[in-house]
Chain A
């Protein structure tokens, strides 16, 4: 049976943080430059920027990586500063709902006009 606790479980979390960090350090500046080069646009031009499927997939995957990265980071901060277990678990839940909700909401926004 796989152990759910112990010193080794941190390694996977650590690796996840680094892997998503590398993805984000490439994707976010790249996307920023892409949008800045296209600017200024009107509404039709703005919609057209999100029309290609690759752009929508890229954005969704980037924000998914961002959500995983933010989860590990915010979880670490809460573990450091919030020592009352009940409150910490409630905050974990709020963070998960915020991040998972953001990813799902982004998918809905990006695919609602297709």
Chain B
């Protein structure tokens, strides 16, 4: 009998992550982004509180499209990290660990983070 042909290498175009896998890796990606946002956030706060010119400069920056996109990315990262984190805490206490609820909660995390990001985009760009 011929052995079943098995992949001997990982073809990234053919294998794909299930939804809980996406939630997990995006939890990491968003976590790194939020880590990078910490010193940046303290810097913005420092400038905005130092004097009126600094405050107005930060407000002016927030109207520029590239900065708005960066803000939107931060909103998504925070929303996804928070939702995926709450899901993680639920899994910690063995809540929703079976395949079906785990997939459903993954979809809920993706949709919730997407919805928050859409709302922020509407607020920022409309």
On whether the two chains bind one another, the answer is: yes
**Contact status of A63 and B28, CB under 8 A, knowing A25-B82, A109-B45:** no
A50 pairs with B42, CB closer than 8 A: no
Residues of A within 8 A of B82 (CB): 25, 28-29
**Interface residue? A66 (CB, 8 A):** yes
B residues in contact with A22, CB < 8 Å: 89
Please tell me the size bucket of the interface on A: 20 to 34
User: Interface 1/0s, chain B 32-68, versus A by CB < 8 A?
Assistant: 1011001100100110110110011000000000000
Closest to B35 in A: A70
A74 touches B32 (CB 8 A): yes
Q: In chain A, residues 16-34, which have Cβ atoms closer than 8 Å to a Cβ of chain B? A: 18, 21-22, 25, 28-29
A46 to B57, CA, bound (A): 14
Q: How far is the CA of A47 from the CA of B45 in the complex (A)?
A: 10
Q: How large is the interface on B (under 10, 10 to 19, 20 to 34, 35 or more residues)?
A: 20 to 34
Contact A74 B31, CB 8 Å, known A66-B38, A105-B42: yes
* Contact sample, A vs B, 23 pairs, CB 8 Å cutoff: A18-B89, A18-B92, A25-B82, A25-B85, A29-B82, A43-B56, A46-B49, A46-B55, A50-B49, A73-B28, A73-B31, A73-B35, A77-B31, A95-B35, A98-B35, A98-B38, A99-B35, A102-B42, A105-B42, A105-B46, A106-B45, A109-B45, A109-B49
17 more contacts with CB within 8 A, not counting A46-B48, A70-B38, A98-B39, are: A21-B88, A22-B89, A25-B82, A28-B82, A43-B55, A63-B38, A67-B38, A70-B34, A95-B35, A98-B35, A98-B38, A99-B35, A102-B39, A105-B39, A105-B42, A109-B49, A113-B49
